[in-house]
Amino acid sequence: MMCNNLRINHTKTGKKTFSYMKLILLSLLFVLITICYSSVKVEAAEKKYGIMIADNKGKYTFYDFYNISENDNTIELTDEGNVMVPLERLVNLIPGLTYRYDKKKETATIINNQNGKKLIYKTDNQYATYYANAKASKKKLVYPTYISPSSSAVMVHMNSLKWLFNSTKGFGYYKTADMQKMGYDTLTYSGVLLYNPYQAVTELPKATSVNGISNTVKVTIPEGYSVPQVFNLLVKKGVCSSTKQLYDAMENYDFSYYPLVAAIEENEHRCYKLEGYLYPDTYEFYRLSKAQDVIGKFLRNAESRITENDRKKAEAMGYSVNEILTIASIIEKETSDPAVMKQVSSVIYNRLNINMKLQMDCGTYYVERYIKPYITGDVNRYNEYYNMYKCKALPSGPICNPGRKAIEAAFSPSVTDYLYFYSDEKGEYHFSKEYHNVVAGNDSSKEE
């Protein structure tokens, strides 16, 4: 695009041009102010935040503002990321504070009855007015305030109430990393807001010392979860403070007094020692438990669920329990349909019986998703031992923690001559002895 003939006249129309440009700039400024002003009005936050309030002895109580009744209101998040709390609901929980709302003036006033400090919020405003005591002059604080469009509650910035407390450090905001160390549920909550009207907030207390938080937590391990998934979930639920503790316990603690663990064949190419043995179920743990105690609970459950009859059956089939669990883990990852599991099982055994590679993608996915991101050193060192296009028989160990239905399918495969299968776009499974039938069927299903 050529611009050689572009000229700007600075002579006769100079004053008019300047006035016109000034008008445009003022209009743009008005639009920008309007956008910024209106952006604080938002829906309820997708992220969840817990509220903790201290009494005069420093003991905290936890409140969930998301378990709401018809007349309650919850926490909201602005487009700028400001955490906004429902003012009246919060003030009613904090000792020594009084809330008043003037409908005519559209102002909310909060008074600390003990020290005389006062905050006045003008709704739909970017500022709050602060008085250090009854005789003090007012001070303007930059805190947005608005009426929630969903609950009609007065919403204020999470830390604005600190000006009413004995110390302006009487507010604390802690996120995931700190919460996990102290045993909080970070699967549900992204952060916790601490309010202490009596003294400074210096640290996040352990969840086990907070009123309103149970010392025990229920955790459901889904069928097919891998070791990293299980450990991550346990930390997010507050069972342990770090996954490092769990990995260290799994690798270094002696669990050989459990017969199932003692029977695991030595294999230097196995990545996670207890993969396949963290039995999927619903458990109840103490918060901030010792990692070895948590793993021990999994193993005790596995010992009871994998019965003596199961162990005898594995021996009669010519397989170890570990190998049966490995087969079950493959079945679990290939299908969640119990009606299909035994047919998938038959394909695995039919291939093993003729020394044919299993060639199933789930082993590759396991390496890429649940081994490489969690190990150091040569991240490719397990490829040939779990990639079922490379290893000659079974992978070096289970690739997940299978549920009972997959284990039963591993013990009782359908009697077939199938060597191949695929699932079409509708999720239906098709089996065949011949490879060309699978290819043809798969192609035709894509054409449909």
Which tokens in the block code for residue 172?
A: 């604390």
Tens digit of each residue's pLDDT (9 = 90 or more) over 365-407? 999 999 999 999 999 999 999 999 999 899 999 999 999 999 9
Mean pLDDT, residues 407-421 taken together: 96
Phi, psi (degrees; rounded to nearest 5) at 343: -75, -40
CB 196 within 8 A of CB 170: yes
Looking at 71-80, 99-108, 188-197, 297-306, which range is the least confident one? 71-80
The structure's pTM equals 0.83
CATH of range 49-209; options 3.90.1010.10, 3.20.20.210, 3.40.640.10, 3.30.457.10: 3.30.457.10
Mean pLDDT, residues 422-433 taken together: 88
Mean pLDDT, residues 289-294 taken together: 98
pLDDT at 100 over 70: yes
β-pair partners for 283? 219
The pLDDT, as a whole number, for residue 359 is 95
Mean pLDDT, residues 51-55 taken together: 97
Produce one character per residue of 134-161: b if its CB has 16 or more CB atoms within 10 Å, e if not.
Answer: eeeeeeeeebbbbebeebebbbbbbbbb
How far is it, in rounded angstroms, from Cα 128 to Cα 86?
15
CB 343 within 8 A of CB 406: no
Tens digit of each residue's pLDDT (9 = 90 or more) over 221-252? 999 999 999 999 999 999 999 999 999 999 99
How far is it, in rounded angstroms, from Cα 276 to Cα 402?
6
Phi, psi (degrees; rounded to nearest 5) at 147: -90, 125
Residue spans of the domains in the chain: they are: 49-209, 227-416
Looking at 7-16, 127-136, 184-193, 224-233, which range is the least confident one? 7-16
Mean pLDDT, residues 85-103 taken together: 96
Residue 73's Cβ-count burial label (10 Å; 0-12, 13-18, 19+) is: buried
Task: Say what angle helices 404-411 and 321-334 make with each other, to 10 degrees.
Answer: 120
Looking up tokens 């302006």 gives 168
The pLDDT, as a whole number, for residue 434 is 86
